Every structure is written in C-alpha cells, then in structure tokens.
C-alpha cells in the first residue's frame, strides 16, 4: 500500500516494489481474507434488483473452491484456458478466482459480443471451458461446431442441450482446494485488445499484474483503501478497466464491491444505486460522467457520500472536473494506461491539484517517458510517443501466440503505447492523440479491423474501411466507408440492414453509426487503406 504523504516527490521516494517469488491472485483476493476475516463482505450482487445478495469472503472461498474442484474434474489443469461470458455477477468473480487457484488462464469475454467476435477469441486462445448464462450459451451453441477446443459450457441460470448447470455441477464438490503455488510471473489472464488491422490480440498477463495495478489504483482513489470504502463501476468486468482496476484490487484490499451493470446506462439509476448502497468509490468512464452531468443539481436530489472518483479513457475538460467538485465535493482523478500495461499514470488531487486537460504523473513504480523514434527520451514540452520502461510488474508477458506483434510492441527496453503526448515542465503527462487507428467511443476502445472483417461478410459489401469520427458526446463514433458489390444499390434501408448485421454478428457497441457508400477506397501502392484520407472526407 502507498504511504499517505503530502506531495508527489515524497510519494515516489517512499515507494518500493515488493514482488514475491510466488503469488496467486485467487488466494490473495479470496482465501487471504477468508482466513483472517471470514465474515467480511466481499461482493454485493445487485444483478437481481429485487434481491441484492451479500457474499462474504468465507462464502467466496467455499464456492470458488467447489468450482476449482469441479473444473479440475472436468480436466482443466494448470495452463489451460477458461473463459467467463457474464455481466457483473458473483459468478463472474468466482470463475476467475477458481481458474487462478488451479493455475489456469482466465479470459473475460464481453456479453455484447456477437458470434464472430466470440468465435475468433475462443479459437485463438484454445478455450476449454466457458462459464456463461442462457443468453451466452445460445450464441455459443450456434458456433460450437467451429470450436474444437471448447469442451464444456457451464450455465449459471439453467442449461440447454449439452450444457452443464453451474450450480448442479459444484454443489457436491468439496469446499477445500489445494491452491497451485504459482510463481508471480506465471500466466493468469488473457485480455483481448482492439487492433488497428486484422483481428484483436490477446494480451497475456501474469499473476504479478495485480500487484502492478495497485499503486495506480491507490493513487487515483486517494490512498485507497480507507475504512467504510465500497466501490462500484458501470464498466463491464470483461474489460481490464472493470476487472483489474476495480474488482480484483478491491477484493485484494478487502473492500466490498457492488456488482451491477445496467443493460443500458441511466444517470438516474446510477445515482439511485450510489445512494442506496452508500457507495464511496467510483470508477466512472467519461461517457458515464457526461450522462450523469445532464441531471440538474443531483446533490439536491440524492444523499451522496462519495469519497473518490477515478476516470480514464479520454481527457476530462475543466467543465466536467468542476461539475464533479460541485456534485460530489471532490476532484475526479484521471488515470492512464492500456490493456498491455495498465494504470501507469494517475492524478491525485490530494497531493497535486488537478490540471484540466492533463492526465497526471507516473504512478509509483512505473517509469513513463516520451521518446523519439530512436528510443531516446525527449525534453519536456516536446511531443513524441508515450512509452513505459521494462521490466514492470504490470506489463504484459506478450501477445498470445503472436511473437512478432510482441516484438513490435517494444523498442529496446521501452514498451510503446502507440499514443502521442508530451511531458510538461513539472512532469505531468499531456495526452495528444493515438498513433494508430483505434477508435475511442463511449469509453470503449474499438479496433477497425474486426468491424471491417464483419462488414465484408455481408452479401452486399465488397470492401469496407472504418474510422472514428469526432463526436461531442461519445468522443468518436464508428463510421464505415463501404464499396458495394455490383448490382447492389445504396439506400437508407441497406444502411440500416448493415448496421443491424454488425450489431448481431459482432457487438452492439461496435456498429457503425454512420455509413457512407463510396465507389472506391483510398489505398497505398501496397494495398493498405489510407484511413487518414477517409477521416478528412468530412
């Protein structure tokens, strides 16, 4: 834990990494507390709004041990991949924890993914078992014939066809389990990133990654934890921001986590939840903050007792930061990172007043600089690529089954973020823009390659290119430029049909909100789409 200090320089000087040789996330976020404070509340599951359910660490240990035993009996062993296709529920946490305990590699999957997105990830990672619900099982069974690695589907709310009922499976298993004594550098998690070309890449993380996240989490939440802290985020636990910035660090620190992800985010519902459960700590993506800001004087309508708010995904402006102070009485702390190397920069207004438009400073233990094309650190105020010095405990082990992409991610000892920025004279990091074509929309990072692959599967589409178009509410929206096959006519009806195609086949948050039919795409001589020209079309 970070020492509570009065200024940033003191914070950096007082910090040292303590990474043990052996470390298992499953033990540290569960059994550690079950052995010392078994009745301490770990998760408040409000996914069923009529009957919120509190789970203690003792219950979390017993259930995750039963699941670990069941998975072992199904043939899952150390190094095997299991996946979790669920929203924020206690079963999501149990599935990750059980996999960690038996030395497996856990893979979060987003419930809004369509069959194309799921099929690619399952096949790429060689996933053996998936824990899901009936909705997810329906999608999986429609493509199961294409997934030779997938042996079992466990369903938490019933079963269908050859699927297994989750609770029937574990009910007779022992509540004791001998946790694999994993090394801190052993693989634990694969989180898929959005790529600019082709399909997403699986970022493989070690057990030590949780320890690597902690300084940034603690810094952005004003020296988290404090007594009475309780945390929630609307961000899905399928993303690294929800899983490793909120769920796992909170459980590690013994802080109750409220499990609730709205099917459609509502500002009123968010304020209701915060008040009802007296939530003290929030990770709110900028889009959520913007929607909540549309409520007039929320502090007059809800009894709020929020201690900290962290936000990431895009830079917050002065107006939004001021709204946060007026509504909650605190400064919103921004932080920065990416799937491969997360939580590396943070603000902390308690020790360094917020600077609107500037993200923060490197979190303790992380060396973050702006470098040139030769890997040399650039002087302050000069822009270049944001990079992180390796080794670093939060840094990924590499891309799953993709050594070339892993090699390309580094320049010497520097991990390249692909983002452009500069450091101010006092060491704050200013984010300028992305050096690639990843689209930032409503807090999601969306890669155009996966959408393009889905678009060209539509029978009317010959070729397509996707870019981000600036949008005042979502930062960017997905815009598709499409060349139709011969004998197909552009029409409003066809646009709607193609949009719905992407929603169903890929994911609802990745469909192109705008489509423009064109005769040909701008290409380089080597056949690469020149997206820069497409962004200039408007």
**Of 82 and 528, the one with more pLDDT:** 82
Asked whether 474 and 227 are in contact (CB, 8 A), the reply is: no
- Strand 129-132 to strand 164-165: parallel, antiparallel, or no bridges (unpaired)? unpaired
Mean pLDDT in residue range 454-479? 91
- Which H helix or E strand runs over 384? strand 384-389
Whole-number Å distance between alpha carbons of 301 and 225? 28
Residue 317 pLDDT exceeds 80: no
pLDDT of residue 198: 65
In which band, very low, low, confident or very high, does the pLDDT at 50 lie, cut at 50, 70 and 90? low
Residue with tokens 């946060």: 324
Least-confidence region, from 45-49, 397-401, 424-428, 469-473:
45-49
Residue 360 DSSP code: B
Residue 47 pLDDT exceeds 90: no
pLDDT of residue 526: 45
Q: How far is CA 416 from CA 26, 175, 284, 387, 390, in A?
A: 30, 44, 26, 5, 10
E strands, 424-524, in order: 429-434, 439-441, 444-446, 461-471, 475-484, 514-517
In which band, very low, low, confident or very high, does the pLDDT at 441 lie, cut at 50, 70 and 90? confident
In which band, very low, low, confident or very high, does the pLDDT at 296 lie, cut at 50, 70 and 90? confident
pLDDT of residue 453: 78
Asked whether 106 and 83 are in contact (CB, 8 A), the reply is: yes
Residue 195 pLDDT exceeds 70: no
Whole-number Å distance between alpha carbons of 285 and 277? 20
CA proximity to 412, closest of 441, 380, 372: 372
- Strand 281-283 to strand 308-311: parallel, antiparallel, or no bridges (unpaired)? parallel
Least-confidence region, from 22-36, 405-419, 479-493, 515-529:
515-529
- Which H helix or E strand runs over 82? strand 81-85
Name the 3-class secondary structure at 310.
strand
Residue 528 pLDDT exceeds 80: no
Please write down the HEC assignment for all residues of 8-52.
HHHHHHCCCCCCCCECCHHHHHHHHHHHHCCCCEEEEECCCCCCC
Alpha helices in 304-426 (DSSP H): 318-328, 403-408
Least-confidence region, from 55-59, 193-197, 229-233:
193-197
Both tokens assigned to 93: 């946490």
Task: Render pLDDT for 229-243 as a digit per residue (tens, 0 to 9).
Answer: 999 999 999 999 999
Name every residue whose Cβ is closer than 8 Å to that of residue 3 and which is 6 or more positions away in sequence. 11, 14, 15
The percent of the chain in helix, strand and coil, each rounded to the nearest 5, is 30, 25, 45
- Which H helix or E strand runs over 267? helix 267-276
Say whether 439-535 and 24-182 share the same fold.
no
Please tell me the pTM assigned to this model: 0.87
Mean pLDDT in residue range 94-109? 98
Whole-number Å distance between alpha carbons of 125 and 210? 21
CA proximity to 309, closest of 272, 292, 240: 292
pLDDT of residue 525: 45
Mean pLDDT in residue range 308-313? 92
Alpha helices in 157-259 (DSSP H): 166-170, 209-220, 240-242, 248-253
Report the mean per-residue pLDDT for the chain: 93
- List 465's β-bridge partners, or say none: 481
Both tokens assigned to 91: 């079963």
Residue 318 DSSP code: H
pLDDT of residue 538: 64
pLDDT of residue 161: 67
Both tokens assigned to 140: 């999986």
Write b or e for each residue in 419-458: b if 16 or more Cβ atoms lie within 10 A of its Cβ, otherwise e.
Answer: bbbbbeeeebbbbeebbebbbbbbbbbbbbbbbbbbbeeb
Alpha helices in 126-208 (DSSP H): 134-143, 166-170
Residue 100 DSSP code: H
Our measurement of the distance from residue 156's CA atom to the centroid of its chain's CA atoms, rounded to an integer in Å, reads: 23
Q: Which CATH superfamily, name and number, covers 24-182?
A: ANL, N-terminal domain (3.40.50.12780)
Residue 304 pLDDT exceeds 60: yes
Task: Render pLDDT for 325-346 as a digit per residue (tens, 0 to 9).
Answer: 999 999 999 999 999 999 999 9
Residue 13 pLDDT exceeds 60: yes
Mean pLDDT in residue range 240-265? 95
Whole-number Å distance between alpha carbons of 243 and 307? 21
Name the 3-class secondary structure at 68.
helix
Whole-number Å distance between alpha carbons of 286 and 335? 11
Considering the chain, what percentage of its residues have pLDDT values greater than 70? 96
The domain ranges of the chain are 24-182, 439-535
Residue 357 pLDDT exceeds 90: no
Q: Which CATH superfamily, name and number, covers 439-535?
A: ANL, C-terminal domain (3.30.300.30)
pLDDT of residue 529: 76
């Amino acid at each position: 834990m970070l020492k509570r200090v009065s200024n940033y320089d003191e914070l950096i000087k007082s910090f040292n990494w303590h990474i043990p040789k052996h470390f298992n996330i499953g033990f540290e976020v569960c059994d550690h507390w079950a052995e010392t404070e078994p009745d301490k509340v770990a998760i408040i599951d409000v996914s069923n709004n009529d009957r919120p359910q509190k789970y203690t660490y003792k219950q979390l240990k017993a259930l995750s041990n039963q699941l670990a035993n069941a998975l072992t009996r199904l043939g899952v062993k150390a190094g095997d991949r299991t996946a979790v296709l669920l929203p924020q529920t206690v079963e999501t946490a149990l599935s990750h924890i059980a996999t960690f305990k038996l030395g497996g590699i856990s893979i979060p999957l987003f419930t809004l993914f369509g069959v194309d997105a799921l099929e690619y990830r399952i096949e790429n990672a060689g996933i053996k078992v998936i824990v899901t619900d009936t909705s997810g099982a329906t999608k999986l069974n429609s493509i199961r014939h294409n997934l030779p690695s997938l042996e079992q589907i466990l369903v938490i709310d019933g079963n269908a066809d050859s699927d297994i009922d989750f609770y029937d499976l574990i009910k007779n298993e022992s509540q004791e389990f001998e946790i694999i004594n994993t090394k801190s550098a052993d693989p634990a998690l694969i989180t898929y990133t959005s790529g600019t070309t082709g399909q997403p890449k699986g970022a493989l993380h070690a057990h030590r990654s949780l320890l690597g996240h902690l300084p940034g989490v603690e810094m952005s939440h004003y020296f988290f934890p404090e007594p009475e802290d309780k945390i929630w985020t609307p961000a899905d636990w399928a993303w690294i921001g929800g899983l490793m910035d909120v769920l796992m660090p909170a459980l590690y620190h013994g802080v109750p986590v409220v499990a609730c992800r709205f099917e459609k985010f509502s500002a009123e519902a968010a304020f209701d939840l915060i008040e009802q459960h007296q939530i003290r700590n929030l990770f709110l993506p900028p889009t959520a903050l913007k929607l909540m800001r549309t409520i007039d004087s929320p502090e007059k309508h809800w009894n709020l007792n929020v201690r900290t708010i962290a936000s990431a995904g895009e830079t917050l402006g002065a107006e939004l930061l001021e709204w946060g102070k007026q509504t909650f009485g605190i400064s919103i702390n921004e932080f920065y990172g990416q799937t491969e190397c997360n939580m590396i920069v943070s603000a902390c207004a308690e020790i360094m007043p917020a600077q609107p438009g500037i993200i923060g400073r490197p979190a303790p233990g992380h060396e973050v600089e702006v470098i040139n094309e030769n890997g040399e650190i650039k002087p302050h105020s000069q822009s270049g690529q944001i990079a992180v010095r390796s080794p670093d405990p939060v840094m990924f082990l590499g891309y799953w089954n993709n050594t070339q992409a892993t090699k390309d991610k580094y320049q010497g000892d520097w991990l390249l973020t692909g983002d452009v920025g500069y450091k101010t004279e006092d060491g704050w990091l200013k984010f300028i823009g992305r050096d690639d074509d990843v689209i930032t929309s409503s807090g999601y990072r969306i890669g155009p390659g996966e959408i393009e692959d889905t678009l060209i599967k539509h029978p009317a589409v010959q070729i397509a290119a996707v870019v981000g178009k600036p949008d005042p509410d979502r930062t960017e929206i997905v815009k598709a430029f499409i060349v139709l096959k011969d004998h197909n006519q552009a029409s409003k009806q066809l646009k709607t049909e193609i949009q719905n195609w992407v929603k169903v086949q890929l994911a609802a948050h990745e469909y192109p909100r705008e489509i423009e039919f064109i005769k040909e795409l701008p290409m380089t001589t080597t056949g690469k789409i020149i997206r820069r020209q497409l962004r200039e079309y408007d």
